Amino acid sequence: MPTFAAIDIGSNSCRLKIASVQQHRLKTLHEDREVTRLGESVFQTGVISPEAMAATIRALKRFHKAVQMHVVDKVRVVATSAMRDARNAEAFTEWVLSATGWNVEVISGLEEGRLIHLGVVTHEVGARGRCVLIDLGGGSCEITVSDKGRIKSMVSLPLGAVRLQQEFLQIDPAPKEDIARLKQYVDRELKKAERKIGAPRAALVIATSGTAAALAEASGHARRKSSGGRKTLQKKRLEHVGSMTADAVEVRALADRLAKMRNEQREAVPGIGPRRSEIIVGGAFVYAHLMERIGLKSFRYSSLGLRDGILAQMLSDVDLRASVHQKIESERWSGVLEVCDRYAIELRRVEPVRQHVVELFDSLSRVHELPEEYKLWLESAAMMQEVGKFVNHQGHHRHAQYIIANSEIFGFSPEQRTIVSALARYLGKTRPDPMDRILRAIPVEEHPHIVRAVVLLRLAVALNQDRASAVVRIRTHVYPKRVLLELVPGRGGAELEAWSLKKEAIYFREIFRRELFVEVV
């Protein structure tokens, strides 16, 4: 079975997780983590410093050795907040490519939140009810409201621990004025979150990443210290579970106490540690303010995170029997329908195109030889092909490409969105060209697939010319040198559809080296 590696290049640290697929599930083989503070200089100057780049490259080279040792089949490398903000992000990605051969994928805050949610709900049984997920990293904080394993609302805020440290807390201990400015900024950003997610009313709150772990462990130590006395072994075990939780009162008290300490004093607080002590104050205030503002009584720390979501996505893409596959497919389709709704697409107009492209994909499989995932990409493009008309009917294919490529569609990676947008782009007079800006953003090995998929989608569109008549049914016959499409007319005949299909025959022959014949029966 395949082995996957997920690498998270965060603003504070780099993380690696390697897992193999066993009985449609993921089994962890290896984990590694290195604090590199990639975002430290970004949040000060807007660029990644050479020192931070070098430290991250050293960590990635170590990860590379582990990946080789475990004979990993596929590696996915994602970068988050610091890389989103850095003006020299492209220079760093080129360095990573030359040092390791890996392409770095810079993901949005919402995609980051989606993958974290996927990682948590895939492995945490309790998270499949109604819950709130909080991930406070080095550069951003993602807050997600989830119900029955589905995202209900999400917000990404620039409230990362490293970012706040660099912007507000450079003097140690921070003066009262700096703390006041920090609190004002945190409150302002959390108001945005409150407008988006409201009061979630969830019994379970799960927090991930290092800041949450430190706050939970420090709160647990304080709780044990205040209780005093010797405990039985059973009580100690219960306390260990409880030590990875923290309530709103504990977090507020801890945040206020840490803000008055010097770094060496914070280091000595059980659960904080030497590297976390440098950036804990800003993160602690975010948790305290957040929990109070939206009425969260407590949170439970989970070691799951972005890398677990990446691995779950990779499993879904290769194992159609994995439980996570159905979840992601449902999530993707909900995202497509949301885009259609946002841009006022009438589903009754595009649904027949989707049905026809699926039928053509299945019946012409020996001709196009496309990977199975292209069926979903074609269905998605068929549904969203007309979103460009929201901007302007003239040149709407070009507008559709831009809207799809730049929309947040849950379940689709940026590369997958670009592929879907390319399929929607080439439905007019323009044909795919490797020198097009759109195709240059897609790996070269995908270009032949895109060209073949475009032909299928053009045929599906051609089959739906007369909107007033009933949907035309098709019968497909594949021969060694030709393909015959028999059209069974609906009300109003099928002459217009036949004429449109015949116009595509030359392009069909150019791509598939077979003649296309069309008959109305």
DSSP characters for 84-123?
HH-TTHHHHHHHHHHHHSPPEEE--HHHHHHHHHHHHHHH
CA distance 133 to 135: 7
* Residue 330, pLDDT score: 85
In the chain, which residues have pLDDT < 50?
229-242
Q: Considering the domain delimited by 320-520, tell me its CATH architecture.
A: Orthogonal Bundle (1.10)
Determine the pLDDT at residue 243. 52
Bridge partners of 35, per DSSP, are 13
pLDDT of residue 238: 36
pLDDT for 232: 43
- Among the listed residues 391, 295, 303, 296, the one whose alpha carbon sits nearest the alpha carbon of residue 342: 391
Pairing mode, strands 141-147 and 25-35 = unpaired
pLDDT at res. 1: 79
Residue 457: the pLDDT is 98
pLDDT for residue 319: 83
Look at residue 138 and give its three-state secondary structure.
coil
pLDDT at 390: 95
Residue with tokens 């697939």: 449
Measure the CA–CA gap between 311 and 73, rounded to whole angstroms: 12
Q: Residue 41, SS3?
A: helix
- Residue 168: both structure tokens together: 């507000």
For domain 125-303, the question of CATH label 3.30.420.150 is answered with: yes
Instruction: Annotate 275-325 with three-state secondary structure.
Output: CHHHCHHHHHHHHHHHHHHCCCCEEEECCCCHHHHHHHHHHHHHCCCCHHH
3-107 and 125-303 share one fold? yes
- The model carries a pTM of 0.83
Contact 154, 113 (CB under 8 A): yes
What are the boundaries of each domain within the chain?
A: 3-107, 125-303, 320-520
Question: Could you read off the pLDDT of 454-501 as tens digits, one per residue?
Answer: 999 999 999 998 665 667 899 999 999 999 999 998 777 888 999 999
Q: Rounded to whole angstroms, how far apart are CA atoms 164 and 378?
A: 43
Class of domain 3-107 (CATH, top level): alpha beta
